[in-house]
């Protein structure tokens, strides 16, 4: 349908008629299969009426997001909330057509309450869709990528809204992994976005604190307390943490000075170190088979909780990696990590841990960056007796020992 015919149809009120048909019929789609099919066909027709016509697309977005009686009373909300997957797909196609390369429409989506509700539906659909190869998930990702590239994601992550944000974070994690150069990061990563990520990180940590420290003042998730671990309460926090540690790990790998400065200014590193400390306290290392046997669950519910604990524990390696990435960039960053207790935490993980065979190696790599050309941190390590902290029975049996070079590098040599 060319633009001339689209304009004629719009002038004749056809766009409005189709919109009203959708809002009327969607209320009856559960009880009437014909109504469901009518909604789907109407959605496809509406998409055809505006596709390729920027003027009509912008008009539709403005009308739906700024003049609707309720935040739920928009054609996009109706289509994305439908119980019919075909209608959902038609709604996504319509939304994508209206948003693609249209910064004004994206701004309206993120600036209005009705628009944020729609964006949240897209985020949740993306986060809950486990089929990475599906066309639906691809469309969801393209929509979220438009928001990311317009620099509007921090607006959706900010505020006191209780709407779930893990879908946004999942999309950003994928985006960062696919665009891995400093030049590409600079287009989408801002101080505002770093601040928003830090707030979500802080909220997720608070959920863990409430779940663990308020449960009979438990000091660790041992067998007698693991059954009290409420998976439902921490699921969103766990999903947010999964995405955030991936994002931070990716954007700190190359050590962009601007991004590192924002991470320091927004106190993101403070949260990362605090979270590592929390996990270290409640998910202690397991060094022997006897300790692992002691922590094995005895019931089905406990088994599910134990698996969740294991997944949470895996964040420790990611957090150590992030601390090392940030600390390697400058003396100021190294000093801050040391002052916040991050250096001590890294040292504490330079031991064998049966929960994660390579966590010691993560800690060694991080330590090299934290000590590089930093005399104060090197002296701190010596005072902490890092040689003793780094030793383990396996090294001793092999006739090896760890030591710190004059330049602060940790090395292993044959024992004298």
Instruction: Say if residue 224's pLDDT is above 50.
Output: no
Residue percentage of the chain with pLDDT more than 90 = 50
Q: Considering only residues 344 and 288, tell me which one the structure prediction assigns the higher pLDDT.
A: 344
**Distance from C-alpha of 267 to C-alpha of 331, rounded to nearest angstrom:** 17
CB 39 within 8 A of CB 25: yes
Q: Where residue 176 falls among pLDDT bands split at 50, 70, 90?
A: very high
Average pLDDT, the chain: 83
State pLDDT tens for residues 119-149.
999 999 999 998 988 999 999 999 999 999 9
Residue 413: strand pairing partners: 401
Using the predicted structure, report yes or no on whether residue 223 has a pLDDT greater than 50.
no
The confidence score (pLDDT) of residue 405 equals: 65
Can you give the pLDDT at residue 389? 47
pLDDT per residue as tens digits for the range 55-97? 999 999 999 999 887 899 999 999 999 989 999 999 999 999 9
pLDDT tens digits along 94-118: 999 999 999 999 999 999 999 999 9
pLDDT in tens, 241-299: 999 999 999 999 876 788 899 999 999 999 999 999 998 888 777 665 445 544 544 44
Window from 34-38, 117-121, 225-229, 367-371 with minimum mean pLDDT: 225-229
Query: CA–CA distance from 66 to each of 73, 113, 296, 346 (Å)?
Result: 11, 9, 56, 51
pTM of the complete model: 0.82
Kindly report, residue by residue over 374-410, the tens digit of the pLDDT: 999 998 888 776 455 455 555 566 666 666 666 655 5
In this prediction, residue 358 has a pLDDT band, given cuts at 50, 70 and 90, of confident
**What does the pLDDT read at residue 1?**
73
């Amino acid at each position: 349908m060319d633009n001339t015919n689209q304009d004629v149809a719009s002038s004749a009120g056809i766009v409005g008629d189709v919109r009203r048909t959708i809002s009327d019929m969607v209320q009856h789609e559960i009880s009437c299969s014909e109504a469901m099919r009518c909604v789907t066909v109407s959605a496809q027709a509406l998409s055809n009426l505006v596709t390729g016509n920027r003027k009509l697309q912008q008009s539709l977005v403005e009308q739906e997001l700024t003049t609707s009686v309720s935040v739920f009373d928009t054609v996009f909300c109706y289509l994305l909330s439908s119980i019919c997957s075909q209608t959902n797909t038609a709604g996504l196609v319509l939304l994508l057509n209206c948003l693609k390369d249209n910064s004004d429409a994206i701004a309206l989506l993120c600036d209005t309450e009705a628009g944020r509700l729609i964006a949240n539906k897209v985020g949740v659909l993306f986060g809950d869709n486990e089929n990475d190869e599906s066309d639906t998930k691809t469309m969801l990702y393209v929509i979220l990528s438009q928001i990311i590239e317009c620099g509007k994601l921090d607006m959706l992550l900010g505020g006191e809204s209780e709407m779930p944000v893990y879908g946004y974070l999942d999309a950003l994690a994928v985006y960062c992994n696919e665009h891995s150069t400093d030049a590409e990061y600079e287009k989408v990563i801002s101080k505002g976005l770093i601040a928003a990520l830090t707030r979500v990180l802080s909220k997720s940590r608070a959920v863990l604190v409430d779940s663990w420290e308020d449960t009979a003042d438990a000091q660790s998730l041992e067998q007698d307390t693991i059954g009290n671990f409420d998976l439902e309460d921490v699921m969103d926090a766990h999903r947010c943490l999964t995405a955030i540690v991936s994002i931070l790990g990716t954007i700190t790998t190359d050590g962009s000075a601007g991004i590192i400065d924002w991470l320091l200014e927004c106190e993101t590193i403070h949260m990362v170190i605090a979270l590592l400390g929390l996990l270290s306290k409640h998910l202690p290392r397991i060094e022997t088979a006897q300790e692992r046997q002691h922590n094995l669950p005895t019931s089905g519910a406990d088994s599910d909780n134990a698996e969740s604990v294991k997944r949470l524990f895996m964040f420790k390696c990611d957090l150590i990696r992030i601390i090392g990435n940030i600390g390697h960039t400058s003396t100021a960053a190294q000093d801050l990590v040391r002052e916040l207790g991050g250096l001590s935490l890294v040292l504490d993980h330079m031991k064998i841990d049966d929960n994660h065979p390579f966590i010691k190696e993560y800690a060694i790599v991080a330590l090299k960056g934290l000590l590089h050309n930093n005399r104060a941190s090197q002296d701190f390590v010596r005072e902490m007796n890092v040689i003793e902290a780094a030793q383990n029975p396996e090294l001793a049996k092999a006739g090896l020992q760890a030591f710190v070079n004059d330049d602060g590098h940790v090395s292993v040599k044959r024992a004298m």
